[in-house]
Amino acid sequence: MIDSLADPLLRVENLVRRFGGILATDNLSLDVAPGELHAIIGPNGAGKTTLISQLTGQVMPNSGAIHFAGRNVTHLPSYKRSRLGLARSFQITSLLPDFSACDNVALAAQAHDGHSFRFWGAARKEPGLRNAAQAALKRVGLEKRADVPVSELSHGEQRELELAVALATKPQLLLLDEPMAGLGVTESARMVALLKELRREVTIVLVEHDMEAVFALADRITVLVYGRVIASGLPDAIRNNDEVKRAYLGDQHAVTSHA
């Protein structure tokens, strides 16, 4: 079933992105099938966030192509990709700090509910937007914190709100950039449980450092090193892949063997 990639939801072909002399993305190709949870792992500096940013359009590739839901989106600006159903969460929490949790989510819902050149009616009193926001907040367990300003939410709550904002855009594909970053043990466990539920509804690309979480959640795993894919496959295959072990655990081996 995993190999039935005839119609991937996301197809990345030969993507290249340079920053000065550094190849952050090196001829990278990748397919994501509808319905799967595809994890991307790799050591620090492997170019994971750069890849996500190219997928959502914050960074434009130097060459290569990105197809989403059968459409070439390589040159689309990020707001247009979002309208097509591509949503992301940011590695470093990126919310609207002076707005309430509910406002943050409602604005995301509003973005996908026609245009916003409406100048008269009070947006905060629109039941459609509020209900959609409440539903997304409830999904991540924040319904009781709806009216709290983002700046007063805990770090864990902000990570959950990131997810709620992404969900409120009704995405087909959710790109999560280290949703577990900086979370404590209990918060991480809650996030994993949440992602387990979400993966039944939406295709997910997950960039994450927490290996336990990755192997618990992923259908397939792609390993990046220096912007290149060195392995891609089922979790068990990745676990036993020699090249991955060398690249990913190389430093630790070196340290232990020379100690």
Name the site residues for another protein (rule: CB under 8 A): 56, 58, 77-79, 82-83, 87-88, 90, 94-99, 103, 106-108, 110-112, 116-124, 126, 165-166, 168-169
Cβ pair 225, 43 in contact under 8 A: yes
Shortest Å distance, C-beta 118 to another protein: 4
Q: Which is nearer to another protein, 107 or 189 (CB)?
A: 107
Cβ pair 175, 93 in contact under 8 A: no
Shortest Å distance, C-beta 115 to another protein: 9
Alpha helix (H) ranges present in 47-100?
48-56, 78-84
Q: Which is nearer to another protein, 46 or 86 (CB)?
A: 86
d(CA 23, CA 226): 8
Q: Is the dihedral of CA 23, 27, 33, 38 positive or negative?
A: negative
Q: Which is nearer to another protein, 99 or 226 (CB)?
A: 99
Here the tokens at position 19 are 């920053």
* Identity at 85, one-letter amino acid code: G
From the CB of residue 13, how many other CB atoms can be counted at a distance below 10 Å?
A: 16
Q: Which is nearer to another protein, 173 or 247 (CB)?
A: 173
Here the tokens at position 239 are 């676990």
Shortest Å distance, C-beta 135 to another protein: 16
Q: Which is nearer to another protein, 2 or 19 (CB)?
A: 19
Shortest Å distance, C-beta 58 to another protein: 7
Cβ pair 12, 55 in contact under 8 A: yes
Shortest Å distance, C-beta 22 to another protein: 12
